[in-house]
Chain A
Amino acid sequence: MKKEKKKRTYKLITRTDIIGYLFVLPFLIGFLFLFLKPMVTSVIYSFHKITFGESGMIMEKVGLENYRYALFGDAKFFKELLTIGGTVVVKILVIMFMSIFVALLLNQKFPGRLFFRTVMFLPVIFGADTILKLFIETDAYQSLSGSSNAFVSVGQSATGFLQELIQSFGFFSDMMSTFSEYAKKIFDLTWEMGIQVILFIVGLQAIPSYLYEVCEMEGATKWETFWKITFPLLSPTILLCLIYTVIENFNSSNEVVKMISENMGHRIHYACAQTWLYSIIVFLLVMIIYGIVSRKTVYLD
């Protein structure tokens, strides 16, 4: 065994390498030509000042000026970055806990499960930009909006009803109103966790059922079964969802992305510089999370 290993290290490229490269080849081509090339162009743009003249695009070299402006000149950009960083972290954690919880519920057998699963999937289907956009526009008549997501603001008025219902019972009204306040906030996130719940359901179903049978035979409680079987074997999905949630929350329509889109229209060079600063920050964040969480991930082997 040892000998074989030694032998393999002498070879520059092994058979495994070649097969591996063949599998990822389509992605490598796509990455090179449809991702890296435009990205490099945009990096080049970010070091220039671009104006549109009669003869097309005029590029003027300015060095790091755009980046300097983004970091020190443009107070709004930096401020929005910090705001997003602050709000997103809590939101991501709540989404993660909530979606695991909902997926566990929906993975159980009970009457109406199919209905609730469909309901959970609806936000993915109805989450199209077009629908959200037109919903906001049309609802301007009713002045329901005000939140960035029209659906959520409608949802808020919906959970307001729940709040009233709870308060109408009368007792513990203070405690109940705080409670319902939080419940409302958590429920509003439902519109943003459709995909996570689906991924978790798929992940839960990928856990072989014989493991649970063993647990039952050994007399483990449900709580123990969860922590000893479900949680570790779900950890790859948790990693996946965590990364997805982080990226989704940073890339969905927040203030910075809006700012970048706006600048794309008239100040491409500055928009590119902003994008790169932003992407590098998110990339580092994702890599740190990946580094920490992937060490704890367990794969069934």
Chain B
Amino acid sequence: MAHKKEMTAKKAASVSSAVFYKIFRLFVLIGISYVVLYPILTMILQSITLPTDLFSSSRVWIPDNPTFTNFTHCLKYFKYGEHVWITVQIAAISTLCQVAVSSLVGYGLARYRFKGNTLVFMMVILTIIVPVQTAQIPMYVDYQKFDFFGIGKVIGWFTGTPLTVNLLNTKWVYYIPAMLGVGINSGLYIFLFRQFFKGMPKDLEDAGRVDGCNALQVYLRIMVPNTKPVFVTVALLSAIFYWNDSVISGMFLNITENMPIMLYTEFIMDPSYTGYTGVTPEQFKAETYVALLLAVAPLMILYIICQKFFTECMDRSGIKG
């Protein structure tokens, strides 16, 4: 009898602790959501508020008369489609290169204990640590007279004039570093891939080798399919960082027609910009929000597409010990 009582008491305790835990979890998640959503909702709601209503005291959250006039007015001079297309190209190609290269490098670092492995790994960390600003001025000089890593110079010994190309204001300022593992956040992705590949059991690869796969085949046919979530994560992050970049473009790609969307938004949404003479501060503010929302909208769509992969398709049935 006493034993039974103890059991019910234990059960009751575990139920109450479970309820407490659920409340606690909800508290944490709602707190986070509040902090994250507040500024974003502010942006969204103010972008559909009439500029004249922006500071009216009757409006707290939902505008009295929601309108899209801010959007239509903004799109008159905000060449959205053009610059989004430029950015899509940059983000897609750079992401593809970056994912391919950083996963290969990460795999090499994780699985091959070649001489100097640690040194290469330290080099990777160094590329993450040194602030990008350091390299900007020397890189500017380099890109202006890009000689294909010295090949152009060698050609110059024979032809008399060194072969150089001006890469400034071309998309190559994004593609070349991405291809060579030194693009935006490349070091981080190499590190990430290395960590995850290291965490994979070696048996599968051994099985592949026994079946006659070479090193590249082992990587392509065994490692890649089994670490899909990591690939999707890196691709998503990479695309976001290329999309949102305004540092590289601000330095090397700053002719108005060639600007990626973020830099373009920054450029257009400048109070001193000529398109803004005669616009009230309220309208300027509302339209800045419109422009920013439009600029990140494709990323939201990308996230929604990737989310399924990213959060749910992580069934690791292929790996057992």
A interface list, Cβ under 8 A from B: 13, 16-24, 26-35, 37-39, 41-42, 45, 101-102, 105, 110, 112, 114-131, 133-135, 137-138, 141, 150-151, 154-155, 157-159, 161-162, 183, 187-188, 190-191, 195, 198-199, 201-203, 205-206, 208-210, 233, 236-237, 239-240, 243-244, 247, 250-251, 257, 260-261, 264, 268, 271-272, 275-276, 278-279, 282-283, 286-287, 290, 299-301
Complex A-B: 23 CB contacts under 8 Å: A19-B215, A21-B108, A22-B215, A23-B108, A24-B105, A35-B126, A39-B138, A42-B138, A124-B237, A125-B299, A130-B246, A131-B295, A135-B39, A135-B292, A161-B34, A202-B230, A210-B320, A236-B196, A275-B131, A275-B134, A276-B134, A279-B134, A283-B125
The reply to whether B29 and A42 contact each other, CB–CB distance below 8 Å, is: no
User: With A20-B108, A159-B34 given, is the CB distance from A299 to B199 under 8 Å?
Assistant: yes
The reply to whether B188 and A39 contact each other, CB–CB distance below 8 Å, is: no
The reply to whether B32 and A199 contact each other, CB–CB distance below 8 Å, is: no
- A133 and B108 CA atoms in complex are apart in Å by 39
Among B72-80, B157-165, B172-180, the stretch that binds chain A is: B172-180
Measured between C-beta atoms, what is the minimum distance from B15 to chain A in Å? Answer: 15
Chain A residues near B32 (CB, 8 Å)? Answer: 102, 116, 119-120, 187, 190
Chain A residues near B296 (CB, 8 Å)? Answer: 125-126, 128, 131
The reply to whether A38 and B134 contact each other, CB–CB distance below 8 Å, is: yes
The reply to whether A155 and B39 contact each other, CB–CB distance below 8 Å, is: yes
The reply to whether A275 and B130 contact each other, CB–CB distance below 8 Å, is: yes
The reply to whether A299 and B120 contact each other, CB–CB distance below 8 Å, is: no
The reply to whether B105 and A159 contact each other, CB–CB distance below 8 Å, is: no
Chain B residues near A282 (CB, 8 Å)? Answer: 129
Among B1-9, B56-64, B280-288, the stretch that binds chain A is: B280-288
Does B262 count as interface, using CB distance less than 8 angstroms?
A: yes
B interface list, Cβ under 8 A from A: 22, 25, 28-29, 31-40, 42-43, 101, 104-105, 107-109, 112-115, 117, 120, 122-131, 133-139, 141-142, 149-150, 176-177, 179-182, 186, 188, 190-192, 195-196, 198-202, 215, 227, 229-230, 233, 237, 240, 243-244, 246-247, 262-263, 265-266, 269, 271, 281-282, 284-285, 288-289, 292, 295-296, 299-300, 303, 307, 311, 314, 316, 319-321
User: With A122-B40, A243-B125, A275-B131 given, is the CB distance from A205 to B229 under 8 Å?
Assistant: yes
Chain B residues near A279 (CB, 8 Å)? Answer: 129-131, 134
| CB < 8 Å neighbour of B314 from A138, A205, A299 | A205
Chain B residues near A133 (CB, 8 Å)? Answer: 266
| CB < 8 Å neighbour of A195 from B130, B237, B246 | B237
Q: Which 10 A-B pairs have the closest CB atoms?
A: A23-B108, A30-B180, A20-B112, A20-B114, A128-B244, A27-B181, A38-B138, A41-B138, A38-B135, A30-B182
Chain A residues near B138 (CB, 8 Å)? Answer: 37-39, 41-42, 45
The reply to whether B39 and A151 contact each other, CB–CB distance below 8 Å, is: yes
| CB < 8 Å neighbour of B108 from A22, A183, A206 | A22
What is the interface of chain A mostly: helix, strand, loop, or mixed? Answer: helix
| A122-B37, A131-B292, A210-B321 known, 11 other contacts, Cβ within 8 Å | A17-B115, A33-B149, A35-B126, A135-B39, A141-B282, A154-B38, A159-B31, A159-B35, A195-B237, A236-B198, A300-B199
Chain A residues near B101 (CB, 8 Å)? Answer: 26-27
The reply to whether A119 and B37 contact each other, CB–CB distance below 8 Å, is: yes
User: With A27-B190, A41-B138 given, is the CB distance from A127 to B105 under 8 Å?
Assistant: no
Chain B residues near A19 (CB, 8 Å)? Answer: 108, 112, 114, 215
- A18 and B284 CA atoms in complex are apart in Å by 59
The reply to whether B229 and A278 contact each other, CB–CB distance below 8 Å, is: no
- A297 and B262 CA atoms in complex are apart in Å by 39
| CB < 8 Å neighbour of A138 from B107, B190, B285 | B285
The reply to whether B114 and A21 contact each other, CB–CB distance below 8 Å, is: yes
Chain B residues near A202 (CB, 8 Å)? Answer: 196, 229-230, 233
- A134 and B176 CA atoms in complex are apart in Å by 30
The reply to whether B195 and A236 contact each other, CB–CB distance below 8 Å, is: yes
Chain A residues near B230 (CB, 8 Å)? Answer: 202, 206
- A31 and B186 CA atoms in complex are apart in Å by 11
- A73 and B176 CA atoms in complex are apart in Å by 40
| CB < 8 Å neighbour of B262 from A16, A27, A128, A195 | A128
- A118 and B135 CA atoms in complex are apart in Å by 35
The reply to whether A119 and B129 contact each other, CB–CB distance below 8 Å, is: no
Chain B residues near A45 (CB, 8 Å)? Answer: 137-138
The reply to whether B320 and A208 contact each other, CB–CB distance below 8 Å, is: yes
- A297 and B133 CA atoms in complex are apart in Å by 33
